[in-house]
Amino acid sequence: MFLQVTMSLLEGFKTTFNIFILTLLFALPLGLIISFGSMCKVKFIKWFVKTFIWIIRGTPLMLQLIVVYYGPGLIGTWAQEAIKTGVASGAIMEWLASWHVFERFFALILAFVINYACYFSEIFRGGIESIPRGQYEAGQVLGMTKVQVFFKVVLMQVVKRIIPPMSNEIITLVKDTSLARIIMVYEIIWNAQKYIKSEGLLWPLFYTAVYYLLFCGILTLLFGYIEKKLDYYKI
Amino acid sequence: MSILKVENIYKRFGKIEVLKGVSFEMNKGEVLSILGSSGSGKTTLLRCINFLEKADGGVISVDGDVIFDASDKSKMTAADIRRSQLNFGMVFQSFNLFPQYNVLENVTLAPKLLAKEDPNYHANKKAILAEIDEHAKELLARVGLSEKLDSYPCQLSGGQQQRVSIARALALKPKILFFDEPTSALDPELTGEILKVIRSLAQQNITMVIVTHEIGFAKNVSDRIIFMDNGVIAEQGTPAEVIDNPKNERTKAFLNLISQKE
């Protein structure tokens, strides 16, 4: 039984890991782009992005998952009804009527990426704004372009500064993956929970903690290693 | 012909007028020191000349070419500003070394990036990079840091960091080297080593503009002194004129205050 549960949880953990890695892969670059938006000198863009971040950070990820998964389908059905009953028509309504439910896993990753990109963007923004103006000026008087100053001078200093808050957020992500079951993506907790119904066993649920702990432990070691690697210089 | 000509520079920050029409000229090989109390506009003047601030009025020319004209409405592109900035080297009060690079990399970073724009870069990449490294090592030897090529800024004293930043500024072979209070962030015992380096640069006929509070040093190293007060040049001339026989009341008061402190 123990072996069977272990294998089943491992199966679920694969999904958990995939959610984790895909979210990280897309949310990190997207977060950087969003952070540029929130620091943009064009007021309209800045406030648009800030409002978006407020909405995403101000509502539960669970709710966002539900909206992303069920929302498009609901809108599609509503638009089809509206056209059928003659309440509304036109190209936009036609387009809305073509909306349908996303594939489950795609909707899940989409919601996770948007949510985490917003959190990451605030960490990036804090890191970028904490770099003294003198660093930019030194690059500028040495004839570097803005892009060169950012990538050759500022970025590495930002990376060093944001590793502690980033590691926090990334470890939170590991555990947030358990929300996937809300839209029936079968991650590790789901796989454990089914043993309650089928076998009346509670311990597989507790057993999942071992997976989480091991994975977060590895991440903690990894971040410690990176921090140490960057220890050769001080900001 | 003067290497740098600054005419009627105006600059305001909000309601405060920091520069109220500053003009001066300097010749190649000359060392010019700018003195004045805090808030007199010395640093702002320097920053307006090298484009860290945009002046509201005035004209700046280098070697007879106008590089900035506030009344010229045609917009200067970032590339234009970048090209003009390369006329000047800048040494900051707070060094502003790049912490993640070692001493040699701090000096070679900008020249190596610039070399990539050379059309022959790909053909002679190795030779070009080797030449940049050689030149950087030579400059670091000149400021007495040959032993520290692999050190990181956080491992150096303030005086050493400032010497690296002087070498870094020289690496792009600027026509004029600016110093913005280069010793203000240093302990008195470290100040001496920086002044020594600046003095040796003066002997090599490098054109320099030095904003400083070190009156004795300015007198000693400069060909000309500008005394600024409240956004204008109150007095200018040779060190003998401005420091030993000041005519302006504000200059006299300032020098008195300084000599009391010393």
Tokens read off for A30: 């997207």
* A139 contacts in chain B (CB < 8 Å): 110
pLDDT at B262 over 70: no
Residue type for position B211 = V
Closest chain B residue by Cα to residue A140: B82
**Pairing verdict, β B88-91 and B208-211:** unpaired
pLDDT at B67 over 90: no
| The Cα angle at residue B249 between residues B246 and B253, in degrees rounded to 5 | 85
Q: Would you state the pLDDT for residue B77?
A: 83
Interface check for B150 against chain A (CB to CB < 8 A): the answer is no
Closest chain B residue by Cα to residue A158: B100
- Rounded to a whole number of angstroms, the distance from the CA of A119 to the nearest CA of chain B is 26
Interface check for B172 against chain A (CB to CB < 8 A): the answer is yes
Centroid of chain to Cα A10: 23
Residue B111: exposed, middle, or buried by beta-carbon count in 10 A (0-12, 13-18, 19+)? buried
What would the pLDDT profile of B71-130 be if each residue is shown by its tens digit?
887 777 888 888 889 999 999 999 999 999 999 999 999 999 988 888 888 888 888 899
Which pTM was predicted?
A: 0.84
Cα separation, B111 vs B126, whole angstroms: 14
Write b or e for each residue in A126-150: b if 16 or more Cβ atoms lie within 10 A of its Cβ, otherwise e: ebbeebeeebbbbbbbbbbbeebbb
Residue-wise pLDDT tens for chain A (235 aa)? 888 888 888 888 899 999 999 999 999 999 999 999 999 999 999 999 999 999 999 999 999 999 999 888 888 888 888 888 877 777 788 888 888 888 888 999 999 999 999 999 999 999 999 999 999 999 999 989 999 999 999 999 999 999 999 999 999 999 999 998 888 888 898 888 888 888 888 888 898 899 999 999 999 999 999 999 888 888 7
* A157 contacts in chain B (CB < 8 Å): 99-100
The minimal CB distance from A138 to the residues B82, B92, B172 is found for B92
* B169 contacts in chain A (CB < 8 Å): 141-142
Which ipTM score applies to this complex?
0.91
Contact A106, A183 (CB under 8 A): no
Interface contact B97-A138, CB threshold 8 A: yes
The minimal CB distance from B88 to the residues A138, A141, A234 is found for A141
Residue bearing tokens 């001339």: B237
Contact A187, A15 (CB under 8 A): yes
The minimal CB distance from B52 to the residues A141, A153, A234 is found for A141
**Pairing verdict, β B88-91 and B176-180:** parallel
Interface contact B90-A141, CB threshold 8 A: yes
The minimal CB distance from A142 to the residues B52, B94, B172 is found for B172
Secondary structure E strands in chain B: 4-13, 16-26, 31-35, 57-62, 65-69, 88-91, 176-180, 208-211, 224-229, 232-237
Interface check for B154 against chain A (CB to CB < 8 A): the answer is yes
CA distances from A73 to A62, A65, A86, A95, A106 (A): 18, 13, 20, 13, 14
Interface check for A152 against chain B (CB to CB < 8 A): the answer is yes
Cα separation, A157 vs B100, whole angstroms: 7
Cα separation, A142 vs A70, whole angstroms: 54
- Rounded to a whole number of angstroms, the distance from the CA of B22 to the nearest CA of chain A is 22
Residue bearing tokens 């060392």: B31
Count other Cβ atoms within 10 Å, centred on residue A53. Answer: 20
Fold classified for A2-232? MetI-like fold (1.10.3720)
- Rounded to a whole number of angstroms, the distance from the CA of B27 to the nearest CA of chain A is 22
Interface contact B96-A140, CB threshold 8 A: no
pLDDT at B178 over 90: yes
Interface contact A140-B86, CB threshold 8 A: no
Cα separation, B81 vs B67, whole angstroms: 8
Interface contact B96-A153, CB threshold 8 A: no
Centroid of chain to Cα B247: 27
Cα separation, B219 vs A106, whole angstroms: 73
Show which of residues 118-137 on chain A sit within 8 Å of chain B, judged by CB atoms: 132, 134-135, 137
Interface check for B155 against chain A (CB to CB < 8 A): the answer is no
* B103 contacts in chain A (CB < 8 Å): none
Cα separation, A174 vs A226, whole angstroms: 19
Give me the helices (H) in chain A, please.
2-38, 43-58, 61-84, 91-97, 104-129, 133-141, 146-148, 155-176, 188-199, 203-229
Interface contact B168-A142, CB threshold 8 A: yes
Interface check for B100 against chain A (CB to CB < 8 A): the answer is yes
Centroid of chain to Cα A118: 8
- Rounded to a whole number of angstroms, the distance from the CA of B85 to the nearest CA of chain A is 6
Cα separation, A23 vs A14, whole angstroms: 14
Choose among B109, B134, B111: nearest CA to A135.
B109
Cα separation, B238 vs B223, whole angstroms: 6
Domain ranges for chain A = 2-232
Cα separation, A216 vs B120, whole angstroms: 50
Average pLDDT over residues B167-172: 92
CA distances from A169 to A55, A63, A175, B61, B66 (A): 18, 19, 10, 52, 52
Cα separation, A88 vs A219, whole angstroms: 53
* B113 contacts in chain A (CB < 8 Å): 143-144, 148, 152
Tokens read off for B232: 């204008």
Task: Name A44's Cβ contacts closer than 8 Å, sequence gap at least 6.
Answer: none
What are B158-163's contacts with CB under 8 Å, separation 24+? B158/B95, B158/B185, B158/B186, B158/B187, B158/B190, B159/B186, B159/B190, B159/B191, B159/B193, B159/B194, B161/B95, B161/B97, B162/B91, B162/B95, B162/B186, B162/B190, B162/B194, B163/B193, B163/B194, B163/B197
Closest chain B residue by Cα to residue A152: B109
